[in-house]
Amino acid sequence: MSVREAIGEKNFLLRRTPANPKYENVKAVVESGMTAEVARLMKRTGANTERHLGECFLRIRPKTLAEYILLLKRQEEAKSMGNSDGGFAHPMDEYRSPNARPPKEYLILDVRSEEDYRACHIEGSLHYPKRRLVHATNPFLPEMFEFKNKDNKCIVLYDLEEELTVGQSVGKILFEKGVDNLAVLTGGLREFVQDYASLIVGKCPVPIVPRDNRLLKRAEALAAARSETQRSMFTHKPKSLSNSLAKPRR
């Protein structure tokens, strides 16, 4: 009995793919996880706003708000310089529209008392007292209608502390009154002053602490909280089985 030979080449599946000279110098890269370069890239390209679980408003970073204020100041300086001597502050300003708007606009509202607002507030912010939400027939400022639920626009609320704005439900009440594009300044005025004191009108209400000292205090507080949590986990004594069995059943 004769064995029939297979059709085609026997070692067809073992044949190697011919190398492309275009990719001779390309080497394999091993993904080793988070590195310093990747962390910087993620921080630089990360979202400027975030929403916590169960909240109806966003949180905005002080850096994002400060960059917006500085952008408005540069535009005003460019307009004033262009009108005075006919020149431009930057080379590319000649090709930009004089009425060009930022990609996203913010309406900054200070919800503290009138005395605190006069003493110190963020440059360009408007006074919006909390009691207006409850006692006023029309709780909105005229400027708020230009930003209310508009694309690429956001209404930012801030108090001295972030917890005061969130705890007193200022953002929640405004959301219930029909304002969807709300944001709360992360850290409040206290955190904003630390890095952007030049954008404050009036005297700073809190002392300015260097960033290194602030980070050190935060690290110490976090370490203390972790140690307290671990201590409570090991020292907690559950109820004994005899006590649970001794309770009468209903």
Each residue's pLDDT tens digit, 174-189: 888 888 889 999 888 9
First to last CA, the chain: 87
Ordered by start, the domain boundaries in the chain are 49-77+101-203
Measured in residues, the chain has a length of 250
Alpha helix ranges (H) inside the chain: 36-45, 62-85, 114-119, 132-135, 144-147, 162-167, 170-176, 188-195, 211-235, 241-246
How much of the chain exceeds pLDDT 90, in percent? 14
Which are the contacts of 169, defined by CB distance < 8 A and separation ≥ 6? none
In the DSSP assignment, the letter for residue 179 is: -
pLDDT over 90 (residue 156):
yes
Each residue's pLDDT tens digit, 9-56: 777 788 888 888 888 887 776 666 666 666 665 555 445 666 666 678
CATH fold for domain 49-77+101-203: Oxidized Rhodanese; domain 1 (3.40.250)
Predicted confidence band of residue 155 (pLDDT cuts 50, 70, 90): very high
Question: pTM for the complete prediction?
Answer: 0.60
- Least reliable range by pLDDT among 63-67, 70-74, 159-163, 218-222: 218-222
Contact 196, 108 (CB under 8 A): no
